[in-house]
Amino acid sequence: MKKSIMILALILSVGSAFAQGYQFTDVKRLAATPVKNQASTGTCWCFATVSFLEAELLRTGKGEYDLSEMFLVRQKYMNQLQDNYLRRGKGNISQGSLSHTAINAFLQVGIVPEEVYNGINYDSERHNHGELARYLKGIADVAVELKHRSPEYDKLVKNLFDTYLGEVPEKFTYKGKEYTPKSFAASLGLNMDDYVELTSFTHHPYYTQFEVEVPDNWEHGKMYNLPLDELMETMNYSLDKGYTVCWDGDVSEKGFSHTNGVAINPEVAKTEDLSGSDRARFEGMSMTQRLEEVYKFERPYPEVMVTPEVRQQGFEKFVTTDDHLMHVTGIVKDQNGTPYYITKNSWGTERNTFGGYLNMSESYVRAKTIFILVHKDAIPKAIRTKLGI
């Protein structure tokens, strides 16, 4: 716990200096475990969800845990091989996935501490699944081509994961007590049925469940569909009540700058929304020049008013894409009173000067969220009633 407090103190000390000219004031800041590094892997889905579960353990007074992402990633790869084979090679065997994949793997095989299974059994200090993914695809393709999975196939799959990730322990000792992966998972006291995924799109009815149509939803997980304002209400309510949020969305926009510690969705077409000095400067600029000025990240600018229609258009034009999962741990406001969401990334602590965190603006989150994962109790009662949960 001391390490987490030190990390949080570091973030607090630099929180008002995110990017040049951005001045942030805390509204709500929740406890989280230290930032990790997914490195050269597409496993953000697991790092974000595990960080969320670790925060749940902190919230419920269970203490600080460092859980193994790669233990769940291994099971996910196994599940993908099965799914891809039965789909005759038309499945998704990429490295990506969504939060429910981590939860499903947790339910299947349990979990272990990071010190028991760090998932690096090759000559590297950091995770790198480039070679592993290529061999995985080769094994998958051959099985489909042969229309048969022999005992040798099973051995190859096991050996592949044992070679790159390490052998799975049947039993292990943690803090003087012996566990299996499932008994350790049970000891944490987390009920996976307590967690739900929420989204907001207009091409499906509100207050129903549907499968969000993104490639990484290869397990066909169903999410509850809310009006956009109610999705944001749920995020705010959750954080206010002490529950963190696992977030999935688009980070491919120029407004997303991990380096500068902010993600923004600026409105630069309307000069009347600008201050006097900014208005005078922007009047003589082309749209390209205005954007170049904004994306220097030197100060806050007015942001887009994101409606459900604007959001839907971005999704259907493939501008808003399913890129990355992160962990939202609080809310701040800038000097203009604009809310931002404190966001823990999984790109290590060296890639920006803010300890691996960034702040996403309300407009950015309204436009670029694909879904969120929350505890059921973090949903306002009136909304839960509408959803029937």
User: Where does the pLDDT of residue 287 fall: very low under 50, low under 70, confident under 90, or very high at 90 and above?
Assistant: confident
Task: Tell me the CA distances in angstroms from 335 to 22, 26, 272, 300, 339, one per residue in order.
Answer: 7, 11, 19, 8, 10
Residues of the chain with CATH 3.90.70.10: 1-30+191-265+303-389, 42-190
The answer to whether 109 touches 102, Cβ cutoff 8 Å, is no
User: Where does the pLDDT of residue 20 fall: very low under 50, low under 70, confident under 90, or very high at 90 and above?
Assistant: low
User: Where does the pLDDT of residue 15 fall: very low under 50, low under 70, confident under 90, or very high at 90 and above?
Assistant: very low
| Strand ranges for 251-368 from DSSP E | 256-257, 262-263, 324-333, 339-344, 357-361
Q: Which residue has the higher pLDDT, 210 or 284?
A: 210
Q: Are strands 222-225 and 256-257 parallel, antiparallel or unpaired?
A: unpaired
- Residues 214-262 have pLDDT tens digits of 999 999 999 999 999 999 999 999 999 999 999 999 999 999 999 999 9
Neighbours of 277 (CB within 10 A): 8
- pLDDT reported for residue 41: 97
User: Where does the pLDDT of residue 189 fall: very low under 50, low under 70, confident under 90, or very high at 90 and above?
Assistant: very high
Helix 151-165 / helix 130-146 crossing angle, nearest 10 deg: 180
Return all residues near 345 (Cβ < 8 A) that are at least 6 apart. 35, 258, 326, 356, 357, 358
pTM value is: 0.92
Helix (H) or strand (E) holding 209: strand 209-211
Say how many CA atoms lie within 13 Å of 108 toward its Cβ: 15
Helix 99-109 / helix 69-86 crossing angle, nearest 10 deg: 100
Residue 7 has pLDDT above 70, yes or no: no
- Residues 291-322 have pLDDT tens digits of 888 888 988 988 999 999 999 999 999 999 99
- pLDDT reported for residue 86: 97
- Residues 347-385 have pLDDT tens digits of 999 999 999 999 999 999 999 999 999 999 999 999 999
- Residues 319-333 have pLDDT tens digits of 999 999 999 999 999
**By percentage, how much of the chain surpasses pLDDT 70?**
92
CATH superfamily of domain region 1-30+191-265+303-389: Cysteine proteinases (3.90.70.10)
User: Where does the pLDDT of residue 21 fall: very low under 50, low under 70, confident under 90, or very high at 90 and above?
Assistant: confident
CATH code matching the domain that covers 42-190, chosen among 1.10.3720.10, 3.90.70.10, 3.40.50.720, 3.30.460.20: 3.90.70.10
